[in-house]
Every structure is written in structure tokens, then in C-alpha cells.
Chains A and B, each alone.
Chain A
Amino acid sequence: MTEKNIKNKTENKAPNKSNGLDSKEIKEEEQVILTPWKLVLRKFKKNKVAVAGMIIFSIMVFLALFAPILTPYDPYTMDFSQVNQPPSKAHLMGTDELGRDYLTRILYGGRVSMQVGLFAVIIEIIIGALVGGLAGYYGGWVDNLLMRIVEIFMAFPFLPIAITISAVIGPEVAPEKRMYIMMFIIGLLSWGGLARMIRGQILSLREQEFIQAAKALGIRDSRIIWKHLIPNTLGYIIVSATLGMAGAIMSEAGLSFLGLGVTPPVPTWGNLVQNARDIYVLKNRVWLWLPPGVAIFFAVMSINLFGDGLRDAIDPKSK
């Protein structure tokens, strides 16, 4: 059934791309026929939960992006006259043990957490699409070899390997640079599933007429892969990127909570929650661990809702 949709997509797209001869016809057509992406948008808009997820996530991105304007404090400036203050008017979420404004730390923490999530997913997609595309298109020994590599990467137990790598190369890296290490660790360990999925998609696509036509026209392999095959798997890539970002944010939070992700003084939601590993803080300074935890939860949940909605809108199997 998924193939049908892809076929529809290409059939609908094809006239748009053809040269000017029948442009008039296209205009008339477009008034009646919606492009696949418009259909997706229409379906997505109907899904209120998914739209709510998108709005919550947009607000969080906005807050993180404009953190320097939204708060008068700096996330690193210590103020020893204001240590461990509970929430008040001056400090809406209180201050930490070094007198830093906690709301500011959370906003800047969101910046780091979301950046790690985003770039980890970008790395994941680049490798996944490349490996999956090559394996699916060439088949034979290339496919065999690449799939064995995927198998190896998928056999790596994520968390133990991630904390091992982090512990081994961690001490030599300055805290400000650790977020880049995190992006690479998470990205490099999680592309396997995506590569497998894209390979499967491409295996079925490459037998279809439009690819055979492209081959008959003598179009370069790389162009067929990037211009004809990958765009047809784009819907799936977008969905797994969205859900993957939620996963990456969760992984970063977990690693940072263990003290093996992004380390203080750089704030991330995960290492802010780490405060609660001190029983005294857990008991008496709730403002130090509850808000960043809630932030992780809302970020992950809103992305998941958004991603699920996208999948329902893109996948023709769902109604």
C-alpha cells in the first residue's frame, strides 16, 4: 500500500517538472488535484493533538532561541549573595548553589539539549540515507557488505557503549565542547535502523517504471539515488527524523544525568536534573530538579505527538 502512495506522488509530481508545453493544463489540474504534500498538510491540520504538539514544541524552541532577550541574567554568572534562593519575583525559578538564576539555566539548557538532539539526528540521517541508499540501489555485494556493517552498529548496546566512549574521551574535552561529542556519539550509534528502512524502501522503488526510465535515459547513478529515490522516501525520513530527535534528546538527558553527557558548568536539562541525586536537594530544593525534568518531558512528548501526527498524515495505511 505504501508503494501505491509513492507512485501517486511521482505521478502527481511528474507534470510539474515537465517543461512548459502543457503548463496551462497543469494550472487547471492544480485547482482540482492537491499535491501529495498538500494532502499531508490537510490531514495533519485535522489532527488536533499533533498540532498541539507542534505548537508546544515551537514555543519551547522559541524560548530557547530567544533566551538572551527573555532573561536579564547570564547562565554562568555567580552571585554568592543569592545562593539557593527559592522561587521569587526576582528569580522566577529560584537560584542554584552558586547563585545562578535557575530559569536562565533552564532556558540555556534547552538550547544545548535541543541542539544536541537536532544535530545528532542530522548526522543519523546523513549516514542512514547514504548507507541505505547505496545498499538498496546497488544490491549484490555492496548491499551485503553495508548491511553487515549496519548489523554491527545495531548490535552495539547503545547506553553502555555511549557511556564508555564518553568516559574515555570525555576528560580531555572542555565542557563547552562536550555537546559536540554528544551529537556525534548519539548520531553515530543510531543510524542503523534508518539505513535498514531506507534500503527496504529503495529495493521496492528501484523496480518501478520511473527508475527504469531514468536508467534508460542514462542518468548518473548518484543523481538517480539523490534526485529520484531519496525524495520518494522523504516522508519516512522526515517522520523518523522527528521521532529520532525525541529519542536523541532523551538519550542526551540520560547521559547528562549520569554525568557522562554534557557536563557543568554548561547547562542541559539532563545535568540540571542531576542535582536531585543529592537526597538533600531532592527533599528540600524541589525547584532545582522538577522544572528541568518537566522540560525534558514536554519537549519529548510534544515532538512525539508531532511525529506521530506526521506519520499518520504521510502514511497512507493509516486513516
Chain B
Amino acid sequence: MLKYIIRRLLHMIPVILIISIVIFGIVKMAPGDPVGTNLDPKATAEQRAAERARLGLDKPLPVQYWNWLTRSVKGDFGDSYIYKKPVSDVVPNFIWNTFLLNVVDFILAFLISIPIGIICAVKQYSKTDNFWTVFSIIGISMPSFFFGLLLIYIFSVKLNAFPINGMVTPGKNATGWAHIKDVMHHIFLPALVLVIGSMASLVRYTRTSMLEVINQDYIRTARSKGLSEKVVIYKHAFRNALIPIMTIIGFWIPGLFSGAVILETTFVWPGIGNVMMDAISARDYNLIMALNMFFALLTLLGNLLADIGYALVDPRIKVE
């Protein structure tokens, strides 16, 4: 197993290199002179040239790429133009806000969806099942930003029950328990959008994988030897239905750190997705490149964890 993981990690290196070339290439295609953005507009041509040389922009592209790559590997992603400090100092400030929102989503979505999915599979075509099928279709088809706006309109504007956006009440500077309460108050609506969206696909997924297992012969055997329905479902069937669910969990874990750009923008949640949007609108290229690399790494890690999770729970899968 360890050998397999190491091999997979080594396998990731060329993929990451190519992705980094693509991202670097895209950003370098950007119009405009990157020097102009953080210099005084009155700067002389000489000052500009000096700035170019300082940033290494006077060198040919492959050299620039190499410099960027070697610095990045060491953890130096350059300075962020909007935050006026190193990129590696900016990201940790926001990542935990994203993590908080996603962890709430992750825990609630799995806790609620898996039992519901099982019930739907056991009572296929019952009223409960039909209700959740409709729920899933609506949840999957609802764009997160529109759903968010609807909730803001109903709960914040009309009922005045929740704050419109943000993570804390501005100027309140609460600490301790009051701070936690304030954050919980703010997190409710964005978390609701996320949880309903995740539940829509998870309920469906659990139901499908459970149905596949329930129709197998060994379940019939278990029933015919007189086991109670509870034991059959939760001990015999659910274990095997868990296999595909494990892959989703593996895939999901790194995703906890990657922000949902659209949702965070809708609710002005100060997470990494929001930073991404700020970086894009301010053309903060160092930050854009670093964030893209970060998101790509998380995706690759997700694929790896999904495969490992799969191999761990299913003894039929052999890792060679």
C-alpha cells in the first residue's frame, strides 16, 4: 500500500509540472505591463526598467518560468499586489474561513444524507423516496448563487432573521462565546445553500449504491436465513454500499480547503474563493498563479485519496 501511494505521488510530479506550465502560460498571456500596476504612474523609464529587472521580467519566458517554479517549490510565491505582503502570508488568513464553511457542509451533509439515502433505497418508490427524489432534482438544478440570493431575500431582507453577508458583524469585535454566536449567525445561510446542494447529490448517490447492493443474491441469502431486516440492511448491505461513498469522502477532504468561488462571492464570505475573485479583479498575478496551483494540487490529492479510500475498503481492489 505504501509503495502504491509513493508511486502515485511520484506519478503526480509530471502532471503538476505541466499544469504549472499551462497556468504560467495563461497568466503571461495577460495584456498590460505588470510593472505599471505597483509603480507610481509618474515613474521614469529608468525606474520602470529597474523595477522590471527587480521582478525578473526582463529575462526570457522560460527563465522566468524556471525562477517562478524554483521559488514556488521553496514556498516563496512572490508578493501579493492587493495585500502588499507575501502570497504565502495571505492565503493562511483566509483558508480557515473556507475550511470552517466547508467542514460544516461536509459533516452535516454526510450525517443527514446517508441515512436518508438508505431509507429511500429500502423503501424504493414510497412517498419518502419520491419526496427525496424531487428534492435531489431541485437541489442539483439550482444554481448556488441564485439559491443564495433567494435565501438572502427571504431570510435577510424580508424576515430580517439573518445578516445579508459577511462572517462577523462589522465593528462588533466580539470575543469568546459572543464571537462564536456571531459567526454561527452569519454562517447559517451560506452553509444551508452548501448543505442542500451536497445533500441533493449525496442522497441520490447513497440510494443508487444501496439499491445495487440490496438486489444482490447474498442479501437474499441473509434474509432467507432469518436475519432481521435491520441486520441485513445495516450490517450486510450498508457495508458494501459504503465503498462508492468512501471514494467520495476521499475526494471531498482536500476540497475542504478550496473555496466555492461563486458561493463565497454571493455571501461575501471572507474565504479563499473570495480572495481568488479579488485577485482576478485586481489582476494580482502572483496570487492568481499561486491559488490556481493550490487548487490544482487539491484536486490531484482528492483523486489520490479517493483511490486510496477505495482500495482500503474494498479488498477486491488490488493495488499493484
Residues of A whose CB lies within 8 Å of any CB of B are 148, 151-152, 154-157, 159-161, 163-165, 167-169, 171-172, 246, 250, 253-254, 257-258, 260, 273, 276-277, 279, 282-283, 286, 289, 293, 296-297, 300-301, 304-305, 308
- Given contacts A167-B283, A304-B141, whether A159 and B262 have CB atoms under 8 Å apart is yes
Quote the shortest CB–CB distance from B303 to chain A (angstroms). 7
CB of B299 within 8 A of CB of A157, answer yes
CB-contacts of B277-320 with A (<8 A): 277, 280-281, 283, 288, 291-292, 295-296, 298-300, 303
Quote the shortest CB–CB distance from A20 to chain B (angstroms). 45
CB of B261 within 8 A of CB of A159, answer yes
Residues of A contacting B22 with CB < 8 Å? 152, 156
Residues of B whose CB lies within 8 Å of any CB of A are 14-15, 18-19, 22-23, 26-27, 29-31, 137-138, 140-146, 149-150, 152-153, 157, 164, 258, 261-262, 265-266, 276-277, 280-281, 283, 288, 291-292, 295-296, 298-300, 303
CB of B15 within 8 A of CB of A151, answer yes
Residues of B contacting A301 with CB < 8 Å? 137-138, 141
Quote the shortest CB–CB distance from A159 to chain B (angstroms). 5
CB of A260 within 8 A of CB of B15, answer no
Query: In this complex, what residue of B is CB-closest to A317?
Result: B212
CB of A163 within 8 A of CB of B141, answer no
A286 to B150: give the CA distance in the assembly, Å.
10
Task: Give the residue of B143, B262, B277 whose beta carbon is less than 8 angstroms from that of A297.
Answer: B143
CB of A152 within 8 A of CB of B23, answer no
5 closest A-B pairs by CB:
A301-B141, A157-B295, A293-B146, A300-B141, A168-B30
Residues of A contacting B296 with CB < 8 Å? 155-157
Query: In this complex, what residue of B is CB-closest to A253?
Result: B143
Residues of A contacting B298 with CB < 8 Å? 157
CB of A300 within 8 A of CB of B258, answer no
Number of inter-chain CB pairs below 8 Å: 110
CB of B292 within 8 A of CB of A157, answer yes
Residues of B contacting A151 with CB < 8 Å? 15
CB of B137 within 8 A of CB of A164, answer no
Quote the shortest CB–CB distance from A182 to chain B (angstroms). 15
CB of B164 within 8 A of CB of A279, answer yes
Mind listing 26 A-B residue pairs with CB under 8 Å? A152-B18, A154-B299, A154-B303, A155-B299, A157-B292, A157-B295, A157-B296, A161-B292, A165-B26, A167-B283, A168-B26, A168-B31, A171-B31, A253-B143, A257-B145, A277-B266, A282-B149, A282-B152, A293-B149, A293-B150, A296-B146, A297-B141, A297-B142, A297-B143, A301-B138, A304-B141
Quote the shortest CB–CB distance from A270 to chain B (angstroms). 8
CB of A260 within 8 A of CB of B280, answer yes
Residues of A contacting B277 with CB < 8 Å? 163, 258
- Given contacts A260-B280, A301-B138, whether A164 and B261 have CB atoms under 8 Å apart is no
A250 to B283: give the CA distance in the assembly, Å.
25
Quote the shortest CB–CB distance from A236 to chain B (angstroms). 17
Query: In this complex, what residue of A is CB-closest to B292?
Result: A160
A161 to B288: give the CA distance in the assembly, Å.
10
Residues of A contacting B18 with CB < 8 Å? 152
A189 to B303: give the CA distance in the assembly, Å.
17
Query: In this complex, what residue of A is CB-closest to B133?
Result: A49
Query: In this complex, what residue of B is CB-closest to A302?
Result: B141
CB of A300 within 8 A of CB of B280, answer no
Quote the shortest CB–CB distance from B210 to chain A (angstroms). 15
Quote the shortest CB–CB distance from A116 to chain B (angstroms). 14
CB of B141 within 8 A of CB of A148, answer no
- Given contacts A160-B261, A168-B27, A254-B262, whether A273 and B145 have CB atoms under 8 Å apart is yes
A283 to B154: give the CA distance in the assembly, Å.
10
- Given contacts A164-B288, A300-B143, whether A276 and B149 have CB atoms under 8 Å apart is yes
Quote the shortest CB–CB distance from B51 to chain A (angstroms). 22
CB of A258 within 8 A of CB of B262, answer yes
Query: In this complex, what residue of A is CB-closest to B288?
Result: A164
CB of A168 within 8 A of CB of B29, answer yes
Quote the shortest CB–CB distance from B239 to chain A (angstroms). 22
A78 to B125: give the CA distance in the assembly, Å.
52
Query: In this complex, what residue of B is CB-closest to A171?
Result: B31
Query: In this complex, what residue of B is CB-closest to A246?
Result: B141
Residues of B contacting A169 with CB < 8 Å? 29
Residues of A contacting B300 with CB < 8 Å? 155
CB of B262 within 8 A of CB of A160, answer no
A171 to B280: give the CA distance in the assembly, Å.
12
Task: Give the residue of B19, B31, B149 whose beta carbon is less than 8 angstroms from that of A152.
Answer: B19
Residues of B contacting A253 with CB < 8 Å? 143, 145
Quote the shortest CB–CB distance from B189 to chain A (angstroms). 13
CB of A258 within 8 A of CB of B265, answer yes
CB of A155 within 8 A of CB of B15, answer yes
Quote the shortest CB–CB distance from B307 to chain A (angstroms). 12
Residues of A contacting B143 with CB < 8 Å? 250, 253-254, 257, 293, 296-297, 300
Query: In this complex, what residue of A is CB-closest to B14?
Result: A148
Task: Give the residue of A148, A276, A289 whose beta carbon is less than 8 angstroms from that of B15.
Answer: A148
A164 to B24: give the CA distance in the assembly, Å.
11
A172 to B217: give the CA distance in the assembly, Å.
62
Residues of B contacting A304 with CB < 8 Å? 137, 140-141
CB of B295 within 8 A of CB of A160, answer yes
Query: In this complex, what residue of A is CB-closest to B25?
Result: A168
Residues of A contacting B150 with CB < 8 Å? 293
A165 to B150: give the CA distance in the assembly, Å.
29
Task: Give the residue of A160, A254, A300 whose beta carbon is less than 8 angstroms from that of B145.
Answer: A254
A221 to B149: give the CA distance in the assembly, Å.
53
A148-B15, A154-B299, A293-B146 provided; 11 other pairs, C-beta below 8 A? A148-B14, A157-B298, A161-B26, A164-B23, A168-B30, A253-B143, A257-B145, A260-B280, A293-B143, A296-B143, A301-B138
Residues of A contacting B140 with CB < 8 Å? 304
A305 to B164: give the CA distance in the assembly, Å.
33
